[in-house]
Structure 1
Amino acid sequence: MAEQNAPVTPSQEAERYLENARLILTEKAGKKDGLYADVKYVKMAAGTAYSAALLILDEYLRQKEGIHFTKPKSIEDYMSRLRKYDKKLLRILASVYDELHLAGYYHGTRSVDTMQKGMNGVKQMLNYI
């Protein structure tokens, strides 16, 4: 863990969110036969992991745009701005959005595979900052 007064980097904060999401799934969601038992905790973990993705994207865009950076207001805004810089990161975001935000958080998927794929996408995104 970071020292008491040491500033936390966006990368460290995103990793913390991802770890929290993993713990929610492991300790609370209850896994059996490739499905989670409690959708409430899946939604909570998906929202937490997706928040990590947004932290990463904000930092990535801040690095690219410098003083011109403003926080995007929608997923479309994130995607159109990413399109200018990195198509691979854009594809990862599209998957993470589908798996974590739509399937996980919004629809409450019970699929372990869907959640793992989304969280692995966020881990890949960490390499961009």
Structure 2
Amino acid sequence: MLTKTREERTAAEEAQRYLENARTILTEKAGKKDGLYADVKYVKMASGTAYCAALLILDEFLKQKEGIHFKKPTSIEDYISRIRKYDKKLLRLLVDVYDELHLAGYYHGTKSVNTIQLGLTNVTKMLNYIAN
């Protein structure tokens, strides 16, 4: 079986791959007991990977909306202000994913399984915006 290179994958396929990698890290490395992850190092790694999937999705969404005028956002504030122009539901997902995966998961290293799983679910919902 031939594997596509990053250049050959669509943005949706690449984001899905990141999301699957994040889930694999959590399942195989983070360890779970009583609704908490055991190893914060892997929670941070998986959260960062899933958040990158969200950014790939947002970049593709903005490319589709802005066409030749697209320029990659440089901050979360830039993403928020630009997404706000096009879709309020995607904006809410972005803010939730930022809180759940970037701040709680990656930055603070939460051990909460519920928080991280909600973040992964929200990234999956975001995928619908670019999946054709």
| TM-score (normalizing by structure 1) | 0.97
Query: Who is 1:118 aligned against?
Result: 119
Query: Who is 1:88 aligned against?
Result: 89
Query: Who is 1:76 aligned against?
Result: 77
Please provide the CA RMSD for this pair: 1.3
Go from structure 1 to structure 2 and tell me whether the alpha carbon gap of 1:4 and 1:107 turns closer, same or farther (over 3 Å shift).
closer
Do residues 98 (structure 1) and 126 (structure 2) align? no
Q: Shift in Å at residue 122 of structure 1?
A: 0.2
In structure 2, what is the Cα distance between the partners aligned to 1:112 and 1:2? 35
Gaps of 5+ in 1: none
% identical equivalent positions? 75
In structure 2, what is the Cα distance between the partners aligned to 1:75 and 1:3? 32
**Contact 1:2/1:8 (CA < 8 Å) preserved in 2?**
no
State how 1:1-129 maps to structure 2 within 5 Å: 3-4=3-4, 7-129=8-130
The one-letter code of the counterpart of 2:48 is G
Q: Shift in Å at residue 40 of structure 1?
A: 0.1
In structure 2, what is the Cα distance between the partners aligned to 1:2 and 1:64? 32
The one-letter code of the counterpart of 1:36 is Y
In structure 2, what is the Cα distance between the partners aligned to 1:106 and 1:17? 18
Q: Secondary structure at the match of 2:109?
A: coil
Deviations 1:4-60 (A, max 9, x none): 468100000000000000000000000000000000000000000000000000000
Query: How many aligned positions are there?
Result: 129
In structure 2, what is the Cα distance between the partners aligned to 1:86 and 1:16? 24
The one-letter code of the counterpart of 1:66 is G
Gaps of 5+ in 2: none
In structure 1, what is the Cα distance between the partners aligned to 2:18 and 2:92? 21
